[in-house]
A and B are shown apart, each in its own frame.
Chain A
Amino acid sequence: MATRAIEIEDPKSGEVTEAVYEHPLVVRLCHWINTVALFVLVGSGLQIFKAFPSFGAKIPQKDLLHWPKAFAIGGWLGGALQWHLTFMWIYIATGLIYLGYQLFSGNYRQVLFAPRDIPGVWPMVRHYFLFGEKPAAREAYNPLQKHAYTSAIILGALSVLTGIAIWKPVQFSWLGWMMGGFHYARLWHFLIMWALLAFVFGHLVMVVLHGWSNFVSMLTGWKKDPEYRAE
């Protein structure tokens, strides 16, 4: 994969650093629009959940947790459904545009966790969690990052599919059936949300810890002085 790379010269010191174009515009737009959509979907989803905060029977009803209203969007069930059923289209649209772009541009190789990444997983785990030596970076993402991003994309797709299964349990009854029925589809939808939130949490921690240039590159596309050499 050819990453677009340039050199930047400081006229005073004459120092030359490399910069790579990591994130094409489509990817950046989809990333940030999807961020907003996910935020709204989680907030309104939790308000919807408040109408029946359980995964058991209605009678007798055993509540799983009482989610505070302050951390929910929509104010009431009807309002939350409006937000949810509006932003789901934005979420789906950016997801599809992103996937389509990645596939057709070949840019997916940057993030897709592939079998060749497997040998690199253990050294990265050792580095992150066991204070092992940091493996040399050869591309934009290390194997663990690829694994995380690929998982997040899969979770995103599953969040849509489980959502369709509970929004349209008759027209797409086969989807609900694959998920173990309407009841389970609702539970999966909820669990997948938490899995996505766990990803977002880890993602933010990594950005805070050593991600300023990564953060900037998701805004402008360019990363100055990358750890790896672009081809």
Chain B
Amino acid sequence: MKPPRNGLAAIAPMLWLAVFFVFPFLLVAKLSLSDTALSMPPYVPRIDWQQGLAGLQAVFAGLDNETYARLAQDRLYLDAYLSSLRLAGIGTGLLLLIGYPVAYGISRCPPTLRQALVMAVILPFWTSFLIRIYAWIAILKPAGVLNTALHGLGLPGVDILNTETAVLLGLVYAYLPFMVLPLYAVLERQDQRLIEAAQDLGSTPLSAFWRITFPLSLPGAVAGALLCFIPMAGEFVIPDLLGGSETLMLGRVIWTEFFSNRDWPAASAVAIVLLATLVIPILLFERQQAKVLS
């Protein structure tokens, strides 16, 4: 038997989860099973609390999976879905490639310098996210900072604003701290004597890195990857500002359904599908972690 104090302590996070996750999730799930209607709010059925339990039953009878069927038939949704996962996947890969050396480099600096460098990684957060993404427009636009610099060097200019390249650039830029920090946390507390032991037993510095440092930093890499992949897949601002009309991402689809088409059930269904896709890798990761720990 656990002491009751533990039970009490567990209530707070449970309550938090119930109020801010489970309840909104159920609302969105219910919305995704509703139908659009020309009313305010623009869906039926709505719960008529005055009828009590009978009203609730009427609502359940009115729910159907028609919206999901529609999503499955329309290629637009599937394309947007796959495109989101692809961009988030490529972005995560790029973040790992860039973030790992950054985190490794910081973790091998003298402690005083480390603090300053970690500060530097966090520093961009002091400016509004929106402003930083707008700044990228100024950099990438045809007569922007980047092209001016390229012309100055006698190089041909590039026109990448409103392309997937610009979206990936924005994603990598915006999410880099979320990749660097968990990796740094793992690398920084790694026992340097393990590296010495590996070298003592005949590993070159490079081989010691691949055999010891790298595998031991994988939990940090997985944490960073999840921390970046999940919000990137649903990202709205970056593709909206930096991407062109051909950049399909679920965040934009949800926005369009919700605000332009006033199709709340469709927007909700897209959100639910996205959530379901992301929950599976998270659960797999959790289970694998639990196995390692046991």
Is B one of A's binding partners? no
